[in-house]
Structure 1
Amino acid sequence: MTVVSSAEAAVVDVPEVLGRCRELVRPALQEAVGRLHPWVGEMAGYAFGWCEVGGAPVVAPGGKGLRQALAVLGAEAAGADGRDGVAGAVAVELVHTFSLLHDDIMDGDGTRRGRPAVWKAYGTGPAVLAGDALFALAVGTLAAAPGGARALPRLSAALVDLLHGQADDLLFAARPWTGPERVRPEAYRLMAERKTGALLGCAAALGAVLGGAPPATADALDRAGRHLGTAFQIVDDILGLWGDPTVTGKPVHADLRERKKTFPVLAALDTAGPAARLLAAQLESHKDPAETDPAETATLIEAAGGRTAALAEARRHITAARTALSAAPLRPAAAARLHALPAFLLDRTL
């Protein structure tokens, strides 16, 4: 069992940890993408923010690198060098980017991180091809790594969960807002665990496996990552409704305009009271979403308790992630860094 105090976790500089892990992983990630067909590699580079259409180098905003950090810290927590987890980090990052390319096509999202999505920039067919190539590259990268044969089943299981979660997410769009066929918060929670949590759990577990950890330790890190991913998705939902676009870099109320079934909305609809009834009536109306003020809808969601319930749910999963980490025999320094990630995640809502 690993005991990490809140004080130890609090002194960890999480942005520094994330940056260190990104810098450790990036050369290997670029080397892997460089093995692709040049045109496909250009699309992948565009997706990662390394180049413009045509291949001209550029520095575009990227993600925080949470999956990469989990893989590197997973290896360190197992007592190995962080570099032992790099192949797992690369594999998971390739899978994540593959999923984003296909997600944008399925959802019809034309922008990604302030730029045209790959399918908008290159075309739908080429974007599908690039996603497929990243999928194949992820499997090949992990298979070629020392210990990769033991790690591949975990990546395969995470991929099955991810695709299951994506299928549920697509099906949710066609289900009603109210009535017996409505999407309940519990169903959304399971979808989020599969679609978002599976890859985060896989990242931490892959790092541990490649670092020589026993299966029980990798399983504990997988559970922690899944809870962290579920919290991450719910926090993203909160930021989509009430976040500051100048801080998050994402447009506020976009999910409402697209009538997406996010956790705060579903939690609000699951309550009784006038605000929930008004919200249900508004969502069930067949008006053009452009005719409805999204700020008014967000106010109704908050009045019905959706924001409070979403924050409570995110905190519950963060606590569960820490509990899973505490149950595993991890190296103290790396364990402290892992324990610091959940608080940093929740702080995004402030």
Structure 2
Amino acid sequence: MIKNLLKQCEEIALNPKKTVCDYIEKKNIKAIGMIPLFGPEELVDAAGMLPVGLWGSYDIEINLAKEYFPPFCASAVMAIMELGLNGTYNMLSGVIIPGMTDSLISLSQNWRAGVKNIPLIFMAYPQNRKLPCGMEYLEEELKSVKEELEKIRGSKIEEEEIQRSIQLYNEHRAAMREFDKLASTHPNTVNNRERSVVFKSAFFMPKREHLSLIKQLNEELKKLPEEKYPGKRIVVTGIMLDDRRILDILEEHGMRIVGDSLVQESVQYGTDVPQEGKNSLEQMAKQWRDIEGFTAAYDPFKLRGKLSAELCEERNADGAIYASVKFSDLDEFDMPIWMQDLQALGHKVLSIEVDQQDRNPEQIKTRIQAFSEIL
């Protein structure tokens, strides 16, 4: 049963376009692309549309996007632009781009210039996120996104619809957090690839359906006794670590991921939308206030290292890996402080540089092999 459920997640994660097109056709709904790193999916869901995570691709040659970006741009951003230009994303009725980095701000301008057939909704997340003025600003941004979605939908999005979506998403977040813990206590049952596809599949299907899948998976895992993994248990952080080749290299060297603070995975589910607030948009703004340990959320106390160290202790991890996205300013700033903080607390750490255009990760393999020997 568990393997069947994991197989379903894998089918969805490895065939995103087919999955999304099937939903559009069979359910007669529209789909909106959610460009990383974070976005108001609840508003898209409340509009009766399918939010689709767009995280680039490992299987694409960059050609058209070279006209818009310099070579020293994060490969996921280049891949998203390429897929927009070559028509892969034509089934989408719009995309939401959060201006969280210079590359994403550039992407929004280039998208307007190059991908004219897919409407762009741009929004900015404030860095003064804990101040009342920052939350008010974000509320206005969310209101603007809501209005743009209403144009695509053709009718108003009601407050009750958004509240229902918030409730659904909070329930889904709780289920994903539970899966993350259960996967860490059953490392022989859920391997690195399987753990990754459970998170990845959530980007390509309605949350209600994914929630049902995860609840079944969690129930089945709870029936099993806790397992002792014969290799090394590791915690990972960074923006993304879903390259199947790297996950397999970790497997080859007896390393099992038992926890993460990856933007693409656990960061999406770590913070619920609070119930406090005069309306749904204020509640969603307060979620941004509450997020910690997220590379794009201003953090004067530099908590990422401390939070990763706590996760290492909670999950009995033998070491931690920082997967830094090549040409990502956010990772370049965070990684040295993170490494220093974890080493100071006695944890063994490794940094690797990941790139969707890297066709031969031999250097990463060598570094992981050396790290496995240290552990």
Specify if TM > 0.5.
no
From the two aligned structures, give the one with the greater helix fraction.
1
From the two aligned structures, give the one with the greater strand fraction.
2
Q: Report the TM-score, using the length of structure 2 for normalisation.
A: 0.28
- Higher RCO structure, 1 or 2 (CA under 8 Å, sep 6+): 1
